[in-house]
Structure 1
Amino acid sequence: MANALAKYIAEKDPVEGELLELLAFNEKMAELGRMAAGVVHELNTPLSVIVSATQMILREEGLPDFVREMVERVNQEAHRLSDMTKGVLSFTRRDVSDHQEADVNQVLREAMTLLRYEAHKRSIAVIEDLDYRLPFIAADANRAKQVIINLVMNALQAMGEGGKLFIRTSQNGEGGVTVQVTDTGPGIPAELLGHIFTPFFTTKEPGEGTGLGLFITRKLMESVGGAIAVESTVGEGTSFTLTFVAAE
């Protein structure tokens, strides 16, 4: 009904139609902020329980090494999720986070530790080309990790079964650090490429995507002073390029 009304007004008065669409968009974003705050509140309690429980387990003596390693990983990821929820609140409140330093290759390794099984399950080969002479990036490690996780998961889902995922780190000509995530998936049609960072835009089936993943990814990059770009060819694949500022 609202879309039909907006279309009708736009036909009668294009300027008023654009204002109505902008108002509807702002209302949707405000609602997203309220939803995010509610989700964060609900997540914090179980996350606190997980952190406390894993810390208690780690105090036990005689744990097998593989059990201790798994529990430590659960503890680390629970802490990361807790930091992410704080980041969501900061994002909805338009807070500016203090930039920190991170080793982008270490961030990549940690992200791929979580996602390598998903790639293996889909019979997707992961090829890494990491430059270990890179400076640290001026970014929070958890935000950088979330960006990479989002892009890698997008790539894996786009390829479905089989294919290759290329991950490359390098230093660009301006002294910054570049991360490229390239897949051999179906690619993105040119007419859709300009919309992929728009909130709520998705090409997935209803119920399979919110259309917020790439929007949040871009906002996370902007929050650390970085940038994200994309190139895609239908039938060949898609490549996302992340550009981080080098730490001083």
Structure 2
Amino acid sequence: ITLAGMIMALVVSSFLAKGVLQPIKRLVFASGRWAKGDLDYQVKTTRKDEIAKLAETFNLMASSLKERDDKLKEYTSQQIMKSERLATLGQLAAGVAHEINNPLGGILMYVHLALEDLDEKDILRANLEKAITETTRCKDIVKGLLDFARQTEPKIEQSDVNEILERTLDLVKNQALFQNVKITRSLPSLPKILMDAGQIQQVFANIILNATEAMEGKGELTVAARISHDNEHIEIEFTDTGCGISTENRKKIFDPFFTTKEVGHGLGVGINFI
């Protein structure tokens, strides 16, 4: 009986080693390969039992991880290329802006001097005033290019979002564009948060002006601020009665120099980098 029991134990041990332990070892080995980044490795098995199903599940998991990894690598590569293009574009913008900024200043100065020498009824005054307007517009474009190129370091400090919103609205509400726009505020008391107040104010101003222009100077603009549901963030919402942003343009609104405005009415820089 003892000998028969020993033989039976050896048979069972051999079966367990071949039927259970070896497949598990293959799964452990595969897990090690995947942990090292070799997600192409697949567990091979001809079995049709639960261990085979486990191996199939492992293979599917590895394939899913590889697919996600490939997408992440592609996205990262695209972002790096985009950053490099933006850096080159910024250097080019700064160079061009510096080269033409001083001549524009000289042109403005001499046109103003010429305007002072003309009589109020001189027919040339209208032409010189147009020259001043267009040259000033060119300087504004140059300023936008310089702002885009500089990308100054943010000055982070504790600031009140509501104060910044109120200050921004006070700055823009007296413009002619806002005469027929009703501004509604929903600004409950909020805690101060860390931010660059100056740059955030510029973002708010850009959004508010764009919203008002989309309403063609008439309609209702609602500005609201609140704490998020998870109590981790402050949400700021701008709602207007304008035409909205098309689905096609939503993918482009953060691209530098993108604008839907007519030529001469918007450079398309600033909000996406502030």
**What TM-score do the two structures reach when normalised by structure 2?**
0.48
Find the partner of 2:205 among 131, 146, 149.
149
Residue 158 (1) aligns with residue 214 (2):
yes
Alpha-carbon deviation of 1:128? 0.4
1:129-184 alpha-carbon deviations (Å, 9 max, x no partner): 0011x111211221121111111011111111311101001011242111111111
The correspondence for 2:171, drawn from 97, 111, 114, is 114
SS of 1:218 mapped into structure 2: coil
The alignment yields a C-alpha RMSD, in angstroms, of 3.2
SS at match of 1:210: coil
Total equivalences in the alignment: 152
Distance in 1 between the 2:196 and 2:97 partners? 20
Shift of 1:115: 1.1
Residue 40 of structure 1: how far off its partner (Å): 9.5
Whether the 8 Å contact between 1:126 and 1:166 is mirrored in structure 2 is yes
Between the aligned partners of 2:212 and 2:195, the Cα distance in structure 1 is 25
Distance 2:149 2:214 in 1: 29
1:218 aligns with 2:269: no
Aligned partners of 1:119 and 1:126 also within 8 Å: no
- Whether the 8 Å CA contact 2:212–2:218 is kept in 1: the answer is no
Larger Rg: 2
- How many Å separate the matches in 2 of 1:108 and 1:40? 32
Q: Output aligned runs, 1:19-34, within 5 Å.
A: 27-34=88-95
Indicate the structure with greater helix content.
2
Q: Residue 117 of structure 1 aligns to which amino acid in structure 2?
A: N
Question: What residue number does 2:240 align with?
Answer: 183
Say which structure, 1 or 2, has more relative contact order (CA 8 Å, 6+ apart). Answer: 1
Maintained 8 Å contact 2:219/2:240: yes
Provide the residue aligned with 1:170 in structure 2: 226
Q: 1:38 to 1:138 in 2, by over 3 A?
A: farther
Is the contact made by 2:151 and 2:273 (CA closer than 8 Å) also made in structure 1?
A: no
Instruction: Provide the C-alpha distance between the structure 2 equivalents of 1:118 and 1:40, rounded to a whole number of angstroms.
Output: 27
Please, which runs of 5 or more residues in structure 2 have no aligned partner? Answer: 1-77, 104-142
Equivalent pair of 2:215/2:242 in contact (CA under 8 Å): yes
Q: Aligned-pair distance for 1:98?
A: 4.2
1:197 aligns with 2:258: no
1:135 and 2:196 correspond:
no
Contact preservation (8 Å) 1:130, 1:169: yes
Contact 1:170 1:178 in 2 (8 A): yes
Task: Write the distance in 2 (CA, Å) between the matches of 1:147 and 1:208.
Answer: 18
Q: Give, in whole Å, the separation in 2 of the partners of 1:92 and 1:156.
A: 27
Equivalent-residue separation in structure 1 for 2:249 and 2:93 (angstroms)? 23
Counterpart of 1:223 in structure 2 is none
Given that 2:177 and 2:217 are in contact with CA atoms closer than 8 Å, whether structure 1 keeps it comes out as no
Structure 1 or 2: larger strand share?
1
* Structure 1 unaligned blocks of 5 or more: 1-17, 43-84, 221-248
CA distance 1:24–1:168, change in 2 (3 Å): closer
Identity %: 28
Report the equivalent of 2:11: none
Aligned twin of 1:126: 183
Deviation at 1:41, TM superposition (A): 9.4
CA contact (8 A) 2:224 2:238 kept: yes
Q: 1:96 to 1:25 in 2, by over 3 A?
A: closer
Q: Distance in 2 between matches of 1:139 and 1:101?
A: 6
